Each structure stands twice: as C-alpha cells, then as structure tokens.
Structure 1
Amino acid sequence: MNRIALSWSGGKDSCMALHELIAAKKEVACLVTTVPKETGKTFAHQEDVMKITSQAHALGIPLELIHCTYDTYTDDFLKKLTKLKSQYRLKAIAFGDMYLKGHREWGEKLAKAAGLEALYPLWSEQKDMLNRLQRFVDAGYKAEVIKVREDVLPAEWVGRQVDHSFVKDISEKQVCPMGESGEYHTFVLDGPLFQREIKR
C-alpha cells in the first residue's frame, strides 16, 4: 500500500482530506505541519503547536513539524519532506486544497522535487463548496471558527461552531462557504476519526 503524508493545518479542510483518504483505504503515515520560526505557531492558522499535537495524538497518527522561515518556506519544506520520504517510506503527499490552482501547482511542484505523488482528495469545482461544507458537518465532525477576515465576515463569528446553523449563515454571505481564500479558519475538536475530543 502506498504510504502518504498529509499536509495538516488542524482545520476542517485537512481533516476532510484525511477522512476521504481513510475512506478510500489509503495509509496516512504521518501528518506534516509547517511552523515558521518567526512566530512559533502554525503557518496556516497561527495555531498553538500543542493544539495540533493534541489532534495528532487523538487521531493516532504521527505528527511531523516542519520548522521553516517565511523566506525559505519551500526549501525548508522540501528538505524535511525528503527526509520523511525515507523515514516513513512515503509514496505521496496529500493536500486539502479544493480549487485554487496556484496552491495545487505549488504542491505538485514540491512533491515532484521530493520524488512523490501529489494527492488532492478534495479537489472539486468552486460551485461545490457549500456541499463540501455540508458534508463536513454531516460526517459528524465538531469544529470551531478560530479566525475570520473581518473585511468579509463578522468578528463575532470567532468561536462559532461549524454546524448546520453556520452552513445556513455562511451560504448567505458573498464568500466561499469553505473559506478557501482565507475568509475564515477552523480548528477540529472531534469527529469519527478522533479517539477523544480536544479541549480548547
């Protein structure tokens, strides 16, 4: 079986990517999370590393931190990924991106440089994003909003649960329902793949 590394932010996108991979009987050997030295928090969501570590423990999947700088992000990612390829006997790396072509091109280029296949289990059309969000909620995952772009969403949405009410409300906003352009970020607390709930 091909062993896979999954780029992990701690949010709903990477969680649903994991969900799809597991459902397809893929072997996810490790989660990889980038941590810029400038902040000491995760690159994607500025999340506390201990929170991400708690998720990995609850999922029962090894977590590998990629320490980088903003200026050398890609090079640092590639160096660590090459080591992980050997360590975990990886054949591929998966990403949770859904329709932004620039993100996919970056990931495919990175994977190719490391001698790995790039997988995008959530890849779909922009018009399908509301259905994607609904599927996340229907799958039984529990997540909360940890960050919003206040130019497009209310600041008081921080702390909201991503539930059916959230799906309805965001469907009425002029934003991507999945927040693919950074309109909002989430942290997953529990769900079918979790052995225990994460406390924030």
Structure 2
Amino acid sequence: MDVAVLYSGGKDSNYALYWAIKEGFNVKYLVNVESENKESYMFHIPNVHLTELSAKAAEIPLVKIYTKGEKEKEVEDLKEGLKELDVDGIVTGAIASRYQKERIDRVCKELNIKSFSPLWQKNPEWILRTVSELFDVIIVGVYAYGLGKEWLGKRIDKNNIDKLLKICEKYGIHKAFEGGEAETFVLDSPVFKKRIVIEESEIEWHDYWGIYHIKKAKLVEK
C-alpha cells in the first residue's frame, strides 16, 4: 500500500513513519503543513523548517502544504494538498485529539483513501517511553506550568524520563503532551539513513513558556 505520512519532525509523526515502514507500507511522501498561525488547531509549529532535513535523513520526498491556519479552512488546505498525491492512505501521529482525528478521517473519506493513526488512544506513558527508546528526541517547546526553561533542548531519555513523568503527574500535564504542553523534535530514528546534528540554537523564553529554535543543523553519517 502506498501511503503519505503527515509529518512535523516531532515524536508522534516519527512514530507514525516508523510504524508505517514496519507494517510494510510504501511511504511515498512525508507531508508537512506549514501554518502562518502559531495557534493552529491542527498543526505543529516549532522548527517545521527542519522537516526538509528530516526528509533527507529518511530519504523520502517531502511535500509542503502552506496554510494561513484559519480554523476549518486549514483542513480544506490540507485536503487540497493531499488531493494531488497518488496514495492509498494517510498515516498520522494523532493520539487523543478528536478534533484533529475526525477532520483527518473526514478528509480521507472524501478523497476515498484510508486513514491510519497507530498511536490513537494508546497509553500516554507508554508512548513517551517508547519514543524515548526508539528515537533521539529533544524538547523544542514548553507551554505548561511545571515545565521550565531547563527542559528546552533537553533529550528525553532513560536519565530523565521518570523525572519528566513525575512532573506531568504533579501538574496534570498529558504524559504524551497531547494538549500541546510541549513540542518535540527527532534528531535520529531507526528509519533515518543519517542523523541530524544541531550546530546553532537559540532559546526564546517568556513568563511560563518558551521555544528552542534550531537555527542551523546538518546531516552526518551514523
């Protein structure tokens, strides 16, 4: 089956990509939606420019769809972009947001293609632990009380995942960050032929939220 993976560079879309390949699907495209609206209801924002590097690392063509990020209109923009692709299905990293999943499912139904969401309704702690073991993943955005500036740019790994999960429990943060409490970026994955190395970065910090901007990065041999 030929599929496209909705891809942001974060942990969930990288799991969707990993799952699709493991299932034996032919991933023809990675599809990234770039929104002008930083408060997009549907799409991941921080460091999406690096999806081009991720696509090169995975050696899969990247398709960019641009949207102003207007509520509901951005869903139509996604549909128009997907309409151009010759695929049998779309794979997404949706976990718990009915808003996102219902709209993606509807778009797929209208285009007469299948919709796959391998992380849908999975245990959030299982998701975080699994992606931390599979990928070299860092936190690039924090938007919840309890997650401070010190987490920006930090890897999620066996050294700190228990601490991170305790913070989530204490402050009522979704353990897989499904509510947008944090954003991630994957530097390496089992499906990458090369890994991403950050050369230059900058932290933007406000009262209780911040972004780890990756200004410059490159691919290196594994």
Stretches of structure 1 lacking an aligned partner (at least 5 in a row) = none
Q: Structure 1 residues 110 and 136, CA, compared in 2 at 3 Å: closer, same or farther? A: same
The code of the aligned residue for 2:56 comes to: H
2:108 to 108, 111, 126: 111
Determine the structure 2 residue equivalent to 1:187.
185
Query: TM-score, normalized by length of structure 2?
Result: 0.79
2:95 to 95, 98, 106: 98
The code of the aligned residue for 2:138 comes to: E
Determine the structure 2 residue equivalent to 1:33.
32
The code of the aligned residue for 1:73 comes to: E
> How far does residue 48 in structure 1 lie from its aligned partner after superposition?
4.5
Q: Please state which structure has a larger fraction of its residues in helix.
A: 1
Query: TM-score, normalized by length of structure 1?
Result: 0.88
C-alpha distance in structure 1 between counterparts of 2:127 and 2:48, whole Å:
26
Q: Please state which structure has a larger fraction of its residues in strand.
A: 2
Q: Structure 1 residues 48 and 117, CA, compared in 2 at 3 Å: closer, same or farther? A: closer
Q: Structure 1 residues 124 and 45, CA, compared in 2 at 3 Å: closer, same or farther? A: same
Determine the structure 1 residue equivalent to 2:127.
132
The code of the aligned residue for 1:58 comes to: A
Q: Structure 1 residues 120 and 48, CA, compared in 2 at 3 Å: closer, same or farther? A: closer
Q: Aligned ranges for residues 9-20 of structure 1 at < 5 Å? A: 9-20=8-19
Determine the structure 1 residue equivalent to 2:149.
155
> How far does residue 79 in structure 1 lie from its aligned partner after superposition?
0.9
C-alpha distance in structure 2 between counterparts of 1:69 and 1:198, whole Å:
29
Determine the structure 2 residue equivalent to 1:175.
173
> How far does residue 116 in structure 1 lie from its aligned partner after superposition?
1.4
Q: Once superposed, which parts of structure 1, at least 4 consecutive aligned residues long, lie more than 3 Å away?
A: none
Q: Is the 8 A contact 2:11 2:185 kept in 1?
A: yes
The code of the aligned residue for 1:186 comes to: T
Determine the structure 2 residue equivalent to 1:56.
55
- Give per-residue Cα distances to partners, 1:151-176, cap 9 Å, x unaligned: 34212211110111332112112312
C-alpha distance in structure 2 between counterparts of 1:68 and 1:74, whole Å:
9
